[in-house]
């Protein structure tokens, strides 16, 4: 029997999926993708992720405030996230981090909110899903501050091979998505060749960053198969061997286990 795959980062709580998120889940299952983690961007989408995760055994939620929405973070939101973290389908705090490309929230606010949510992860014993866009030095500094206390995944990793090595040393996993299939994806390919195989997880970041051959379309969890195929090619591994290792990685990081629904 072919082992299933996991999409460790899919925004099924995004407005682009409002009309058909359940159909997207069914298409994913048909493609052999039986685990999907839905990350929050603010409290409302975090709560939505939890509600969606209750509908299917293979859906899980992450809760947190994205750097774009850091300006909406407050002590009330913090307390509500801590309360929500006890839900049995919540597997991570995320997505949290820094985004210096758009700067939708002031950088000093992003930094404070990222640190505080790392502390929430420490207090609740959850792993983190980290967003890092053009903020590599500050992101790594904060991960260093919580070394040995918090671990997780650098989602849609865009840093250097050297940064990836340091993140692995700190206990983090590296998340690869559709960018791995792009023709101009020199850095992701280099990192994917070098990262230890037992520290890789795959994702789509749906509805964004659809992989080849679906570029230009709305991304969805079924398309993680394309990322998987590319990684198997890069690493020269059989599909069976790679599926087995990726499932072990997901289990080790998020404490969820592969199965066929």
Residue 259 included in any domain: no
For residue 160, name the pLDDT band (cuts at 50, 70, 90): very high
| pLDDT recorded at residue 254 | 97
Q: 75-99, pLDDT tens digit by residue? A: 999 999 999 999 999 999 999 999 9
Q: Which of 48, 35, 42, 45 is nearest to 9 (CA)?
A: 35
The pLDDT tens digits for 223-255 are: 999 999 999 999 999 999 999 999 999 999 999
Q: Is position 219 within any domain?
A: yes
The answer as to whether 261 is a domain residue is no
Q: What is the CATH number of the domain that holds 43?
A: 3.20.20.140
Phi and psi angles of residue 97, each rounded to the nearest 5 degrees, phi first: 145, -145
Say if residues 134 and 159 touch (Cβ distance below 8 Å). Answer: no
% of the chain exceeding 70 in pLDDT: 98
CA–CA dist 113, 68 (Å, integer): 11
Does residue 149 belong to any structural domain of this protein?
yes
Spatial contact of 235 and 246, defined as CB atoms under 8 Å apart: no
Mean pLDDT across the stretch 1-10? Answer: 87
pLDDT at 260: 43
Counted domains in the chain: 1
Confidence of residue 48 (pLDDT cuts 50, 70, 90): very high
Alpha carbon distances (Å) from 95 to 156, 238, 258: 11, 31, 22
Please give the pLDDT value at position 3. Answer: 78
User: According to the model, what pLDDT value does residue 258 have?
Assistant: 61
Beta-bridge partners for 63: 93
């Amino acid at each position: 029997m072919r082992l299933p795959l996991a999409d460790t980062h899919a925004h099924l709580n995004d407005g682009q999926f409002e009309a058909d998120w359940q159909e997207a889940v069914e298409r994913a299952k048909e493609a052999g993708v039986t685990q999907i983690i839905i990350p929050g961007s603010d409290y409302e989408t975090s709560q939505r992720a939890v509600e969606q995760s209750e509908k299917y055994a293979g859906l899980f939620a992450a809760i947190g405030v994205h750097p774009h929405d850091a300006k909406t973070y407050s002590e009330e939101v913090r307390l509500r996230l801590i309360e929500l973290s006890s839900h049995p389908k919540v597997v991570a705090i995320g997505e949290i981090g820094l985004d210096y490309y758009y700067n939708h929230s002031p950088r000093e606010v992003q930094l404070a909110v990222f640190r505080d949510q790392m502390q929430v992860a420490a207090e609740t014993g959850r792993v983190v899903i980290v967003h890092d866009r053009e903020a590599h030095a500050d992101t790594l500094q904060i991960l260093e501050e919580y070394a040995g206390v918090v671990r997780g995944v650098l989602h849609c990793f865009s840093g250097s091979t050297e940064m990836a090595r340091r993140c692995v040393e700190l206990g983090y996993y590296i998340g690869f998505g559709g960018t791995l299939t792009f023709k101009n994806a020199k850095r992701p390919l280099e990192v994917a060749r070098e990262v230890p195989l037992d520290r890789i997880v795959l994702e789509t970041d749906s509805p964004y960053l659809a992989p080849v051959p679906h570029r230009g379309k709305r991304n969805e969890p079924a398309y993680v198969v394309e990322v998987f195929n590319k990684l198997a090619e890069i690493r020269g591994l059989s599909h069976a061997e790679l599926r087995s290792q990726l499932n072990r990685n997901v289990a080790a990081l998020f404490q969820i286990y592969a199965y066929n629904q």
